Structure 1
Amino acid sequence: MLALRKKRMANTHPFLRGGFRPFFFGAATWAVIALTLWLCELAGKITVPSGFDGVAWHRHEMLFGFVGAAVAGFLLTAIPNWTGRLPIAGKPLLTLFAWWAAARIAVLTSALSGFWPAAILDVGLFLSLAMLAAREVIATNNRNFPIVGMVFAFGVADAADYAGSAGVIPTDLGWRSAVALMTIMISMIGGRIIPSFTRNWMVKRRVPATQLPTQPQALDLLVIASTAMALLFWLIFPNNWLTGIVLMLAAGSQLMRQYRWGGHRTGSDPLVLVLHLGYIWLPVGLLLLGLSIAGRDIPASAGVHALTAGGMTTMILAVMTRASLGHTARELRAAPTTVAAYVCVTFGAVLRVAASLGLGPYGIMLDVAGAFWGLALILFLVVYGPILWQPRLGEQH
């Protein structure tokens, strides 16, 4: 098996030499396409031929299309680091990516080609990806099996979203489960990489040891557990005032946790700072969700978009840019265009949340927010698209 993988790595096109390459490229490309289609439908110019209604399709494709592709790219890239085994590459990787792309087309045209065939194709991808990852992790007795389990649960949430649209279960259970799972995953993975990258950056600048962020401790586990509990309350008792209180407490604990990482000192390095900017949306989103349930005049969509358009997208963009540079042996430095992408995604997320809060003309703010959000991903494709298709520096084609 090892010899076969080495041969695949040597003989395949650079684009298929690591999961981050096709899936990060696909995630950004599909996000721009899906957002454009959604804004056109919202303006009444087109009707998306999906078995989902317009809002449900937009929500589904942002979560299970865009975020799902980013999760696949991250997982397939992280597994070799976790296990020491060679990455999935060549035809097996192409098969997974083609499967994801086919699922996007199937969901988009499911009103014509069939709702349940699209569901089987779409859900099957995440369940298969989880089983593939489980095989790699189990083979080396690796500690990251909980992450793999969350990818499997993400596939189950995908299935629940189809069942909800078909009226089999409560309509919103699937997508809310996906939001909860991705929030917890960001809390877990972000809690590893953000203090680690921040500490490395600070050490290079000779910051005193007493000011350096530490790796996850008992307090971090408590914060993750409290966040998971709060989101579980949100899933089971979405309208109970106690859920609002628990969500706000989780927001406070996340904020205190992040403050310990010293992100306010990293302004001179955008690659590090953007990780902190992405993570800050977690306490903001949890707080807004909590306030909306606790009786304040705040729509739940403000909290949901803080977690999705803010937290998930910013963290995805931060990880995609950093991983694309690092795994292709390029200098870890944010070019001006990359910084512009970070600014655009942040501005777009702020406008989208502000629109939900009624802080301006809703329709105009929605269009402008979508334009900035999409522009951030277009800039990613402009800068990193060629990198994802080219060999690693020092590596032959």
Structure 2
Amino acid sequence: MHSGMTDVTFQLRYGSNLTYECSLAADRVVASHLPPPALTDLPARLSEALAAPLEFPALHQAIVPGDNVTIVLERDTPQAGALLAAVWKEIASRGVAPDHLTVLQPASYRSQPPTDPRDALPADVREHVTWKVHEPATEVECAYLASTAAGERIYLAREAVEADFVLTVGELAFDTLLGYRGTSSSLYPGLSTAEALRRSHGQGHDELSPDDQRPLRELTDEIHWLLGGQFSLQVIAADGQNVSAVVAGQADAVLRHGKKLLAETWRFEVPARPELVLVAVEADAGGHHWSQVAAALDAARHIVARDGRIVLLSELEEEATDGILMIRDARTPRDALQPLRQAAPADLIAATQLARTIDWANVYLLSRQDHDLVEDLFMIPLEDENEVDRILDGDEPCAVIGGGQHTLTHLQNR
């Protein structure tokens, strides 16, 4: 972004590799938020973080030679291969053999399978390291861990329960269910049973801030403690699939510091509701799907004026998922909310975010979706960037958001 005397020019990255540029009169722009800069020296920063972690000894000092180590790697973690390679370098220096290392990823309702994160490991190591995606439907996959203070019996993946040392690796981010995703949240319900996944599946807490009490988040933290897990390596997203910050150390300290970093990098506050919000969605470590688009629309909804306009830039081409189709088949977006809650489809959160947004504001969608489908979803399809230009050619107050799927928006004094 750069500015002149009377206008402000924005360059918004969206889709896989596209950039939209626009100039807006400075007195129209209520506020703007762009992604934080990416680290240019990620391997060096990872080495530093693992050698001098927060409130914990250096990682290699916490490992005993011959330990069976399990890395719980959250899905959709930016630069997951680089993170795994950095951890391997540390634990290998302590005498851990490749066949004593398991990389375990949680189950998910999402249909997209994760990609093999071992590609960044040395070739002679890669083939000996076990990589596994947890399968919750098979009871033999889980072992009894302990009972919580509330008396709930917790079952987790055997690879976590029976390991000598467990560390969590993932992305710290705002989350509509948990408040904050990261550290312990990769353990539960994704490494537990199918019943645990079902119970934890919800529409999100639209009425709560990230720092409000969240029972599910408190449960994951308790499970992490019961497991004896202490060390965590987490990153903060930048643009695309990049990383803006690295935090490693004792899990509670990592979460505390991560919350401060998120507030500095991905929290967006506006002084008043604008009539127009321009929001861009770039492909990230999780891909470019309805979930990213819906999260970005949700961010715009929280600040745009009632019946205002949201213009979303994307290259979305994923087929409509079950919850999205339920919105299409409803009489109004609001009418879809209760059936979504009752049916709890795999894309419940994304569909709920979409329904709430198109009930609140007028949504203009630039994507690769069929225009008939977009219209059936109560949105206005845009053909190209020229149509975006025409919508922006007005004088109403506006806000601009880059990396919308990662952004937490709110009004000042709210």
- TM-score of the superposed pair, with normalisation by structure 2: 0.26
Which structure is higher in RCO with an 8 Å CA cutoff and minimum separation 6?
2
Which structure: larger Rg?
Answer: 2
- TM-score of the superposed pair, with normalisation by structure 1: 0.26
Higher strand share: 2
Higher helix share: 1
